[in-house]
Amino acid sequence: MYFRVLLVLSLLNLFGLDFSTLRAQDTLSVWKMLDQAAQMDTVDRAKDKYEAAYTLAKQLDYDRGVLASLQRLIPLELETENTSNALRYLLEEVKLLENVQADEKRRKALIKIGDLYSEQALFTEAILYYKQAREGIMGNRNEETKSLDEKIGFNYSQEGEADSALVFYANLIELYGEDKYYRLNTLRKVVAAYQEARNYEASLAFNLQIKTLMEANQEFQGELGTIYNNLGYTHVFLGKYGNASQWFLKAEDHFENDHERLVVLYTNLGIAYFNNRDFKLATQYLRKALSLAKESDLVNKGNISNVLANIYLQTDDYFNAQNFNRDALEFADQSRNPQLKSDAYATAAEIHSRLYEYEDAIKAYKIHLGLRDSILIENRMEQERLFREKLALEKTEKEVKLLLIRGEIQDLTIAQLRTEKERQKLEIDNLNLDALKSQNEIEIMTQAKEIRETKLKNQELETQRTRQQLALLEGELELQSRERDLAELEKEEALTKAELERTEAKVVEGEQARKILEKDKELFQRNALVLILISLMILLGLVYTRKTNKKLRQQKLELEAEQEKSESLLLNILPNSVAQELKEKGRTTPKKYESVSILFSDFVDFTRISAASSPEEIIAELNDCFKGFDAIMEAEGIEKIQTIGDGYLAVGGIPEEAPGHAIKCVAAAKKMIAFLEERNQHSSIQWKARIGIHSGEITAGVVGTKKFAYNIFGDTVNTASRIETAGEQGRINISASTYDLIKERFDCEYRGKISAKGKGELDMYFVK
């Protein structure tokens, strides 16, 4: 019996030695694989090698190797945006670090999980892990607690829980408030939290704290404009537009040379004045914002143009409303911004409706609805994508935690097996005690037995403690699952409510569209009634006698002759394309031209010459001169606009846009001077003309309903008049903008900066 026991012990020792040797070799293999992975040339190959090392370490139950593999795998999963795998590995890392009581490393892993959830806009889950990380360092004033409080405050802010965010931000202000810069930045975060929660009263209160802090410290004086602008912005949300305007005006002095901030400020001022029903100041400041906006800032320029179109629509200024609406649509097309395009088409539909252009209104409104629905669908898809990502992460978290629990249960089973092994070993020891005859050996074996029994009792106690911890963990997991289910139900309810609101909005819009269609139908019915009356008149005409028919034919011929005269007269008054539009539609649409050239001329000493001549003679002279000018304009393709006394006005580049308009105007001006010089050789009155040309943008259209005329408008017209007045007889005076367009074709003489009434000093040139 004794020798049999010794043989068993020898065999156990033999197998134990071999197993230890094999384990050492395998653990070295784990580190070798990790080293090889670090040398891989691609991320995918490195991940494969790290995962192989991780799997081997798991099989060996080699926690150190598992941790090393995880710490290398996690950054790669985050880099490749594989959030589910990254979360899976992070959760396992946290559990392993908890087992080895590596608190600092565990805290960092918890923060990484919080960051992962925060980046995925899962703010509630992020807060949970940040708080777990915060628990281990509660009460300590260091950079880690500072960073965690900022993260928790930010995530509460994004979740719309401003009061909860304030708790952590206030803690930061209390701890680090002696640093004025840090206090200022933290107060700004508090304001942002309340703005996000739409608690504008609280936002205003903290903005006033920022104002007091900045005004009291010299180093913040350069940022006063920003806080004044923010105070105005907050007052707009509170509906206190008068107060908002005062704060915006106070900010203007601090943004004197900062065009980018002035654009924002002037836009805010315009909206504030608009809401306060001061349309004149609203358009004034919005136009300022538009003029200062960068050429590349298409979306901002489009939004400002759309607001201006709506303001002009409110004041029944349909001309400006259409112009700015066209600009907004153009900016929307260039920027490819669907929201701007939708808003601009909604404004276009309203303008067409006000002008009784129901067909165009319905077209624009349909485009608006299509764009709006596509935006809603895209937003809905984005919400659903985020929701799916959240479910995937939560599912991953739950699966990992369950696996970890099962792993602990498995470890518990292994511990029980080891306990059983210890029990069997005790029995063998008892046999050894019976076999040994020496009292000293018996005492030594007895002590060893007592030690093993104590160890066995400790293991049983540890087993019971582990069971209790597992039960608590399962309960906590179940509670977290229920809380998340409740949160999902609340969010689903919010989504359903939002969908209901969108459905109600669609119903309202549908009702508006129906009303527009009813108006269109009513108009059609009135037209149909007119057609019926015309038909009755035709039927009555059929019963007339042949004599009456002959008389009607004669009247028709006379009417056609008169119509031809009218059309001929109309073509003499208006450009051909404008006249054609007036005949077809009964109205004309004003048009904006980005680049034209305006020619102004008048006669020197006209007042003196007219006083010394009879009225008949003066009229005959002017008629002869202007006929010659008309022929020159027609030959050069320039549109004559009007004559006023001895003044003659013409424009190159309308009604059809022409790139060489400035060159044509200069050529026409040279012919005008040559024409007068030739005419003066055989005329009793010697006429000398002064001619000025300026290039720029204008608006052109027909004005009036009786004795209507084609006319031009804009600052370019006024500037051209000043250029002509500053000229000399027999010479062609041009502006810098015209010079830039003709300098390659004509020799010019720079005159320097010449004072022009109401325009200041302008660069001017004489054409040689």
Give yes or no for a contact between 358 and 516, defined as CB atoms under 8 angstroms apart: yes
pLDDT at 179 over 60: yes
pLDDT band (50, 70, 90) for residue 94: confident
Nearest to 235 by CA among 227, 244, 226: 244
What's the mean pLDDT in 641-650?
A: 88
113, exposed or middle or buried, with CB in 10 Å at 0-12, 13-18, 19+? buried
pLDDT band (50, 70, 90) for residue 405: very low
How high does pLDDT run on average in the chain?
Answer: 77
- Using the structure block, give the residue that is written with the tokens 């907004």: 328
pLDDT at 596 over 90: yes
Which amino acid belongs to residue 22?
L
Give yes or no for a contact between 53 and 33, defined as CB atoms under 8 angstroms apart: yes
Tokens of 482: 């229920």
pLDDT score for 664:
94
Nearest to 697 by CA among 594, 586, 569, 599: 594
pLDDT score for 687:
92
CA distances from 395 to 84, 132, 399, 406 (A): 9, 20, 6, 16
CA distances from 692 to 605, 673, 733, 734 (A): 17, 12, 5, 6
Cα–Cα distance, 492 to 497 (Å, whole number): 9
pLDDT at 318 over 80: yes
- Using the structure block, give the residue that is written with the tokens 């050894």: 432
SS3 765: strand
Cα–Cα distance, 719 to 318 (Å, whole number): 26
DSSP for 636-671, please give it.
HT-EEEEEETTEEEEEES-SS--TTHHHHHHHHHHH
Single pTM value for the model: 0.46
pLDDT score for 409:
43
What's the mean pLDDT in 676-685?
A: 89
Cα–Cα distance, 224 to 211 (Å, whole number): 7
**Beta partners for residue 752, in sequence order:** 764
Cα–Cα distance, 172 to 186 (Å, whole number): 8
Tell me whether the omega of the peptide bond preceding residue 615 falls within 30 degrees of 0, making it cis: no
- Using the structure block, give the residue that is written with the tokens 């009793």: 684
Report residue 264 CA to chain centroid gap.
Answer: 14
What's the mean pLDDT in 356-364?
A: 84
Ranges 83-87, 165-169, 480-484, 568-572: which has the least confidence: 568-572
Q: What percent of the chain has pLDDT over 90?
A: 17
Cα–Cα distance, 538 to 409 (Å, whole number): 102
DSSP state of 240: -
Nearest to 746 by CA among 693, 678, 688: 693
What's the mean pLDDT in 319-328?
A: 90
Ranges 3-12, 71-80, 281-290, 706-715: which has the least confidence: 3-12
